[in-house]
Amino acid sequence: MAGPMPEIPGPVAELLATLRGGGHSAFVVGGCLRDALLGRDPADWDLTTDARPDRIQTLFPRSLYENRFGTVVVRHAHAQYEITAFRRDVSYTDHRHPDSVEFGDSIEDDLARRDFTVNAMAWGGSPAEDSRFVDPHGGRTDLSERLLRAVGDPDRRFHEDALRMVRAVRLAATLGFEIEPETLAAIGRNAELARHLSGERIAAELLKLLAAPRPSVGLRLMAETGLLAVIAPDLARQPGISQNKVDGEDLWDHTLRTVDAAPNRSLVRMAALLHDVGKPDTLADGHFHGHETMGAVIARDFLSGLNAPRALQERVAHLIRNHMFLYQPSWTDAAVRRFIRKVGPGSIDDLLALRSADNEGSGLAAEAGDLPELGVRISRELAAHVVLGRHQLAVDGHDLKSELGIPPGRTLGRVLDELTERVIAEPALNDRAILLEMARTLVDGPAGGDWSGGSSSRIGEAS
């Protein structure tokens, strides 16, 4: 089949030339060739060759071989490339790994182990010949029709490695391709096998899916094929739950609209995917009371099940827990500062982005709820370096000890907290002399006359 030639960057061509000059056949292969033919910038260029790892290392002294899969990492022209010896995968028993990896004899062996026809093409050749396409599975035809088709029998291929099903829906969204009907039907039949996959591998594909222009393409496929019920059962409960947001659309539609509307940052997209995951459990009388708290717990469990980094778990849960805030222009500046403190300055942008997406997912304008005004007010407070926590006060624990003799301990902590509250309410109070005087009064009671609240507000006495 004719068609465009791939554009191979100079450094990659040099690697191919070194291998071929060393007497080996060598090819660019897999996703990078697919992307180059599509005019997409490949994330990384992968090469394959009949040279075995020790030989690859001889040809490329600046290289590292520390796995058992035949992949040598080569440093060249300030970048890293993976050069993998031809492989042949044999006998899978656990639905996720080949039991062993054998080196293959030909590029055809290597292509046969790959997942989809568009990922199973190679460009290159032996030392003697001109570069050519090797495309035994019809990848270029499928590429032009924008189709993901399993290499070989899809049922067998998904039995070997269930991740291929997840990759199919992910690639459909990333590339804007359709899944060929036989391949799609096989995902439906084998979705249960995704149970055998490690959390890490699912998480990696899910993050790539969420980075697609419209993640909903892949997420809908997951729901329709049954993969979602296996991978994210709590999300799989959303279809069919009605919401009076967009006419005729249910909770799942709302979630998908929200994800698509979210900016392409993994944290915000993940939070968008999970932001209403607590709704099915909290539904009562047409309301979802407390769903954000429930949702935060479910989201954390879900991400921890995928072995996602603890920081991601916590940050996503935090965004979900706080996504139902109700801003009103009547908020005082102190209320804005309390909001910043509660959310944390580092999460504000993400929370506002989540809420705008949630608005769009509800069929509203992104700006609904006066979000832009809230954003402006928050920026103004942050630019003024307002006090949001103890450590920003003009006094610290040492001052309270040396000036007022308050020993470290609970009382000291409570005094600092109370001072923080007062400074958040009135930033002008953040002055060393004023704060020391306030602290003295809090501990000793008013110097003379009544302190508002009387002696009961004296902190030192509270149990």
Positions that interact with ligand ATP (CB under 6 A): 30-31, 43, 46, 114-115, 119-120, 161, 163-164, 167, 208
Q: Based on CB atoms, which residue is closest to ligand ATP, 32 or 223?
A: 32
Task: Tell me the closest approach of the beta carbon of residue 421 to ligand ATP, in angstroms.
Answer: 49
Applying CB under 5 A, the site for Mg ion has a residue count of 1
167 vs 377, beta carbon nearer ligand ATP: 167
CB 167, CB 227: distance < 8 Å: no
Q: How far apart are CA 265 and CA 40, in angstroms?
A: 20
* Contact predicate 430/394, CB 8 Å: yes
Cβ distance to Mg ion smaller for residue 40 or 289: 40
Pick the closer one to ligand ATP by CB: 113 or 279: 113
Which residues lie across from 74 on neighbouring strands?
Answer: 63, 81
Binders of Mg ion among residues 363 to 392 (CB under 5 A) are none
The helix/strand/coil state of 246 is: coil
Which positions from 253 through 312 interact with Mg ion, judged by CB under 5 A? none
CB of residue 432 vs ligand ATP: minimum separation in angstroms? 56
Residue 75 CB, shortest distance to ligand ATP, in Å, is 19
Chain residue at closest Cβ approach to ligand ATP? 31
Q: Which of residues 14-53 bind Mg ion (CB under 5 A)?
A: 31
What beta strand segments (E) does 203-289 contain?
283-284, 287-288
Nearer to ligand ATP, 45 or 60 (CB): 45
Residue 408: which of 398, 417, 418 has the closest Cα?
398
CB 254 to ligand ATP: min, Å: 28
> Where do the DSSP E strands lie in 62-121?
63-64, 71-76, 79-85, 87-92, 98-103
Nearest approach, Cβ of 207 to ligand ATP (angstroms)? Answer: 10
Which tokens hold the place of 392?
């920003």
**Residue 256's closest CA among 223, 283, 208, 231?**
223
Give least dist CB 31 to ligand ATP, A: 2
b/e per residue 142-176 (b: at least 16 CB within 10 A): bbeeebbbbbbebbebbbbbbbbbbbbbbbbbbbe
Q: How is 300-332 classified by DSSP, letter by letter?
A: HHHHHHTT--HHHHHHHHHHHHTTT----TT--
Whichever of 119 and 238 has its CB closer to Mg ion, that residue is 119
Binding site for Mg ion (CB under 5 A): 31
